[in-house]
A and B are shown apart, each in its own frame.
Chain A
């Protein structure tokens, strides 16, 4: 009789332990689902309310880009500070946007606000500045081309007409991109 009673108690305990395990397992699954729901909701809100989109992958094809930047009104004695092979840093982003492949210079001229008669018409006179030069730098860079967007070097856009504040190893200056071509 006592032995039977002990067996019954042990079985009851065993059944109860099994039920508890099932309940714990169910609650754990619901908790995980709840967490997933919260994370998904936050993710959805981030995608909806901000331009960030983790699904958007960097698209584009790698290429070599050759582009020309003009630095105007450069003093004669600093031209030698710009050397072929120097790295070029975009000061705004701090990113390297290529290296100087070729350097050229010409006398610096600018359009004055003086009208000069030329036959029947008037033209704007160009003024020269002594000992000042326009320096043309051909820059070579490993770029990414993205259709519909254009060229970028280390996420820095390169485009004709765009102005750049540039840092070279021994000189800093402002320049404008005037041409670009695939290398």
Chain B
């Protein structure tokens, strides 16, 4: 009498393994779509984020023109923060110092041949959402008034301070 096990050519286990292998390959092929299964799909709205940069060199400020994209690093990935709605508004940098008598006075950083410090203000058009009363740009990164964010454009690196966040429309 023949042993049943030795005569079986293709078993259930073999079929399961083949199915698993095919599923794994499909998983790699469709990895981007599968990633979405792990994130909650939420609708992003348009927001205007107003920011300020204090005492930035004019050589940096001059690069901040309309439609320039600001990116930030978030959890090891670079993501879009927003794009400039218009050219930034710049003025000579100011600060409060004390005069010779020790009285607080508002002072201006003067321009010279080589260096000119600006205070810059601008508006970014961002996509984000409100969750538990907090604004998350791109649905990921926490942003709030007074937060300092290190940002990059294609040609410049600098820090901005968030002044206001408002929903468009």
| Chain A residues proximal to chain B, CB less than 8 Å | 22-23, 26, 30, 33-34, 36-38, 40-41, 43-44, 47-48, 51, 106, 109, 111, 113-115, 117-118, 121-124, 126, 134, 147-151, 157, 159-162, 178-180
Indicate whether A159 sits within 8 Å of B107 (C-beta atoms), given known contacts A36-B25, A115-B99.
no
B-chain residues with CB within 8 Å of residue A121 when the two chains form the complex: 107-108
Task: Name A114's contact: one of B35, B97, B109, B156 (CB within 8 Å).
Answer: B97
Q: Are B155 and A151 in contact, CB atoms less than 8 angstroms apart?
A: yes
A-chain residues with CB within 8 Å of residue B63 when the two chains form the complex: 160
Q: Which partner residue on chain B sits nearest A159 by CB separation?
A: B157
Enumerate 21 A-B pairs (CB-CB under 8 Å) in ascending A order.
A22-B9, A26-B10, A26-B14, A30-B17, A37-B23, A40-B21, A48-B35, A48-B38, A51-B77, A111-B117, A114-B100, A118-B110, A123-B107, A124-B110, A126-B112, A150-B155, A151-B154, A157-B157, A160-B60, A161-B59, A161-B60
Q: Are A126 and B110 in contact, CB atoms less than 8 angstroms apart?
A: yes
* Binary flags per residue of B3-20, CB closer than 8 Å to A gives 1, else 0: 000100110001001101
Q: Are B21 and A115 in contact, CB atoms less than 8 angstroms apart?
A: no
Those 8 A-B pairs whose CB atoms lie nearest each other, nearest first: A37-B21, A40-B24, A150-B154, A33-B21, A37-B24, A122-B107, A160-B156, A115-B97
B-chain residues with CB within 8 Å of residue A34 when the two chains form the complex: 17, 20-21
Within 8 A of A (CB), among B64-88: 69, 71, 76-78
Interface range for B: 35 or more
A18 to chain B, nearest CB (A): 12
| Chain B residues proximal to chain A, CB less than 8 Å | 6, 9-10, 14, 17-18, 20-21, 23-25, 27-28, 31, 34-35, 38, 56-57, 59-60, 63, 69, 71, 76-78, 95, 97-100, 105-110, 112, 114, 117, 152-158
Across chains A and B, the number of contacting residue pairs, with CB separation under 8 Å, is: 120
B-chain residues with CB within 8 Å of residue A106 when the two chains form the complex: 114
Bound complex: CA A43 to CA B29 (Å)? 11
Is chain B's binding surface mostly helix, strand, loop or mixed?
A: mixed
